[in-house]
Chains A and B, each alone.
Chain A
Amino acid sequence: MRRTIRGGRPYFFADPAIDKILNMVVVLASEVWTLRERLAAMEALQVRQGSLGAGDIDAYDFGPEDEARLAGERKEFIDGLFRVLQEQVEEAKARVARQPKPEAKAGLKGKPKSRPKAKAKAKAKAKAKTRARRR
C-alpha cells in the first residue's frame, strides 16, 4: 500500500527542517513509549511467573539468531524514524519517473550539447525568482 501523502504535507516553521525534526522527535517518543509498554508487560509477566532474578538482564547476551533478528528490527526502527525524509526522495523519484525519457543519442547529433542544460538553468533561475517574490 502507498504510505506517502499525495500533495505533500504542510510546513509551519520558517525552515521546514524544523517541522521535519519535530516529526522525528515525536516518532522517536512514540518508540520510547512503545518500549516502555513492552517492558511493563514483560516485567508484569515475569513477576507473575517468578522467573526473573535480580541482575539477570544485565548479565544476558543475545545469541546469534536473536542478534540477527534484532538487526532487522533495528533497521525498521531507523527507517521509520527518518521516513519523513524518505518522502522527499520518493517525490523526487516520482518526478523523474514522470519526465519523458531523453531521446536516443543519435537523434541529438549536431545539436550543441550545452543548450538544453543552459535553458533548464535559466528556467530554474526564473522559477526561483518568482518563488522569492511570492515570499
Chain B
Amino acid sequence: MLELKHELKLAKNRDEKARMNFVSGLRAHVLNDMATGMRAVWDADVEPAFRRARGRGPKDGPEVHKAIKPNEYFKFYSSLRVTAQDMVWQSVFPPLERNRPALKDKAAKLGRAGKARGSLTLDPALEVPRSVSAIDVHLMAGNYDGEYEEGDLAAGALYDNGLAVFSFGLMGQNLDDIGQSIAGFIKLKYPDLKPRRILDLGCTIGHNTGSWKDHFPEAEVTGIDVAAPCLRYAHARAEAQGRAVHFKQMDAQSLGFPDASFDVVFSSMFLHEVPRKGIEKIMAEAYRVLKPGGLMLHMELPPNSQLSPYDAFYLDWDGAYNNEPFYKPFRDCKPEELCWRAGFDPKKYLQFVIPSIGWYGEQVWREAATRPIGVDNDKTGRLTDGILWYCFGAFK
C-alpha cells in the first residue's frame, strides 16, 4: 500500500495497514493478472465462438461485453473487482472515523488566515448537480459531497486515502502522476506558452492541481469543484505540501470568472463523470474563460472510436459496474467534435498519449514530448503496469 506523504495522512494501526496492503495487492492481482487472464480467455474461447456464430469478429465494445458476459472467468474477474473496489473504501472508514476530530484540527491549523499560501472560497448557495449529489461514484459511499457535520472534510480524506489503496502505486507517490506527467509534458512541448493563470476543473482534492504550480511556479493556479468537503481537504492538503493553490466552490458548467481570464484550462478524469449536456456547457465555458492563444486540455479515458472493440469493452467495464453512468456516453463522444462544437478551431485540435512519468521514468517521458504515441494501445487509460495517460484539447 502507498503511504500518503503529507501531514493529513491518517494514523493507522498495524491491522489497518495490513488490510490496506491486502486490498492494494488484490487490486493489482485483478487489474494486472486477471485482466491478462480475461484477455487470454477472450482470445482462446469467446472470440472464436463469436466468429463461428456470426462469421465475423465483434464490431464494438458492447458486442464484446455481450459475448463475454456469460463466461465464468469474466464473472469472477468482475465480482472480485467489485469486491476489491468496495474493500478500498471499507479499509479507510475505521481509521478515518477515529481520526476525524484530529484531522479537522490539523486542517484548520494549516488553513489559518495569514499563514496559508493559497485560499479556500466556498459558496454555500451553490446547487450540487445531480450527477454528484444522487450517486455514489466508484462505489464510494457518501460520494465526494457527503457531509456529516459543519465544516466536514471526511469525504476528501476518504478519497485521498482510498486512492492510495486503489492505485497500488500507479498514480504516483503523491497520487499526482497524471498532473506531473501532463503539466511537465506541456512545459516541454510548448516552451513559449508561459501561462500566468491556470484553472483546474472538477479538481476534487487537488491532487493533480498542485503539479501545475510545481511546473509553472510563476502562475496563479486555481482549482474548482462542486463538493465542499473535497475542497476543504484540498486546501489543507495543498498547504501541507507547501503549494500556493486557490480552491473555489464552483460548477464548471457555469464559471464565475470573466471572459479571457486564463491561459490554461485543465481537467483530469472529470468529464466522464458529467452527463453529455453538461460536458458541452463545460467546453463552452472553457472556451469563454480562455485567453486567445490559451490552451484547453482534458486528461481523460481514451474515446471508444480510437480503440479496438476489446479495449473499448475493457474500459467501459466501469460504466456498467462501478456506478459510472456517464462513463460510456462520454467515451462514445468524439473529443474533436466536442472541441469544435464549443467554438474551437478544428485545425487547433490536439491529442496526446503521455507515458506515466512514475512508471516509465523521465527519459521515456521526455522522448514522448518529441514524438507522439498512438492511442490504440492496451496500456492507454488502463490502470495497469505501463499506463499511458490520454489527453485532448485545443488552443483558442
Which A residues are within 8 Å of any B CB, using their own CB? 1-7, 9-13, 18-19, 22-23, 26-27, 29-31, 33-34, 36-38, 41, 80, 83
Given A6-B136, A13-B79, A22-B80, A30:B142 Cβ within 8 A: no
User: Is the CB–CB distance between A11 and B97 below 8 Å?
Assistant: no
Q: Is the CB of B79 within 8 A of A19?
A: yes
Which interface residue of A6, A11, A22, A31 has the most chain B CB atoms within 10 A? A6
Residues on B with C-beta less than 8 A from A83 are 90
Q: Check if B15 sits within 8 Å of A38, measured CB to CB.
A: yes
For residue B136, give the distance in angstroms from its CB to the closest CB of chain A.
5
| Chain A positions within 8 Å of B23 at CB level | 30
* B136 and A34 contact, CB distance less than 8 A: no
Q: CA–CA, A9 to B75, complex, Å?
A: 14
Would you call the interface of chain B mostly helix, strand, loop, or mixed? helix
Nearest Cβ on chain B to A15's Cβ, whole angstroms:
11
Q: Are A37 and B21 in contact (CB under 8 A)?
A: yes
Residues B86 and A9 in contact, CB atoms below 8 Å apart? yes
Q: Which of B14, B96, B135 contacts A7 (CB 8 A)?
A: B135
Residue positions of B touching A, CB distance < 8 A = 14-15, 17-19, 21-23, 26, 74-76, 78-80, 82-84, 86-87, 89-90, 93, 96-97, 134-136, 139-143, 146, 148, 154, 158, 320-321, 323
- The minimal Cβ–Cβ distance linking A92 to chain B, given in whole angstroms, is 17
Instruction: Give chain A residues whose Cβ lies under 8 Å from the Cβ of B320.
Output: 10
User: What are the residues of chain B within 8 A of A13 when measuring CB–CB?
Assistant: 75, 79
* Closest Cβ neighbor of B77 among chain A residues: A12
On whether A5 and B97 interact (CB within 8 A), knowing A12-B74, A22-B83, A30-B87, the answer reads no
CA A19 to CA B85, docked complex, whole Å: 14
Ordered by A's residue number, 23 sampled pairs between the chains whose C-beta atoms are within 8 Å are A1-B146, A1-B158, A5-B323, A6-B135, A6-B141, A7-B136, A9-B82, A9-B86, A10-B82, A10-B320, A13-B79, A18-B79, A23-B83, A26-B80, A26-B83, A26-B87, A27-B83, A29-B22, A30-B23, A30-B26, A33-B21, A37-B15, A38-B14
A24 vs B135: C-alpha distance when bound (angstroms): 25
Q: Considering only CB atoms, which chain A residue lies closest to B17 in the complex? A: A37
Alpha-carbon distance between A27 and B148 when the two chains are bound, in angstroms: 27
Nearest A-chain residue to B321, judged by Cβ: A10
Q: How far is the CA of A72 from the CA of B82 in the complex (A)?
A: 29
Report the bound CA distance from A13 to B73 in whole Å. 11
Q: Complex formed: what's the CA distance from A5 to B141 in Å?
A: 5
Query: In the complex, are the beta carbons of A12 and B79 less than 8 A apart?
Result: yes
A83 to chain B, nearest CB (A): 7
